[in-house]
Amino acid sequence: MTADAIVIGGAIQDPTYRIGMLDAANKPVVSAAPNHSIEQAVTKMLVNGFSQLPVMQNDRDVKGILTWGSIGARFALGKTGQEVRHFMTSAQIISSEKSLFEAIELIVQHEYVLVQTPERTISGIVTAADLSRQFQQLTEPFLLLREIEQHIRKLIIVGKFTLETFRAACDPNDSDREIKDVADLTIGEYIRLLENPTNWGRLSLCIDRASFVEHLQTVRRIRNDIMHFDPDPLGPHDLASLRQFVVFLQGLRELGAF
């Protein structure tokens, strides 16, 4: 008898979410040279809607950063000058290998960080706005799924089902689990409950049961992908599906369906 072969390796992504993974950390940086006129730099900031402008000789040599705060502070103190170097302040630089969560405090404090590669080049700038967008992308699917689940629970309560009905909808492979109320059911069990025509009729909804259940199946699939930490980000079609279903459920609730 031969022993089972041991599986070694596999395509496992880096488990640490590093700041260098952000899109903004990998975009060409618009900058100014220290000897550029302050008018030229300010115009560049206004045209692009920037709150800060790196001051660089090249992609490895960072001299500082120009911000509206650094400009205003020097004017307030009566400082004069014609060139960018007269108004810049020290720049915040962080390695692209750092964890995103290590970078958060620095970004919150200074509203940006310059991202530096292992080769010592500046690969991008990550601002507080970029951070907000990233966390929206990471958290929105979880928040939408939570809202959907809460709406479905409230909808099911309308049917005034018995515990026996809930238990009958349970996964047969998990029959030992204690069920006390609707909150103990999974999305798969919501589907099993509502795809039953008799149970659906108790909700008194003038909505096609098959279509509703089909949408719930989509939600279940998306939830499984997210909860199993699928390495691929949630696609725009799936995110749109969650958003649309939330709006649909919100509309039902506003109409008094539950």
Report residue 138's pLDDT band, with 50, 70 and 90 as the boundaries: confident
Contact (Cβ atoms closer than 8 angstroms) between residue 141 and residue 239: yes
Q: Return the domain boundaries, the chain.
A: 19-131, 134-254
Checking if the pLDDT of 9 tops 90, the result is no
* Mean per-residue pLDDT of the chain: 91
Domain 19-131 has CATH 3.30.1330.10: no
pLDDT in tens, 186-199: 999 999 999 999 99
pLDDT at 10: 56
- One-character DSSP codes across 79-125: ---SBGGGT-BPPPEEETTSBHHHHHHHHHHHSEEEEE-TTS-EEEE
| Rounded Cα gap, residues 8 and 121, in angstroms | 35
* DSSP β-ladder status, 112-116 and 122-127: antiparallel
Checking if the pLDDT of 218 tops 80, the result is yes
Considering the entire predicted model, what is its pTM?
Answer: 0.73
Q: Which amino acid is at 162?
A: T
Beta carbons within 10 angstroms of residue 118's beta carbon: 9
Q: Greatest CA separation found in the chain?
A: 87
pLDDT in tens, 87-114: 999 999 999 999 998 999 999 999 999 9
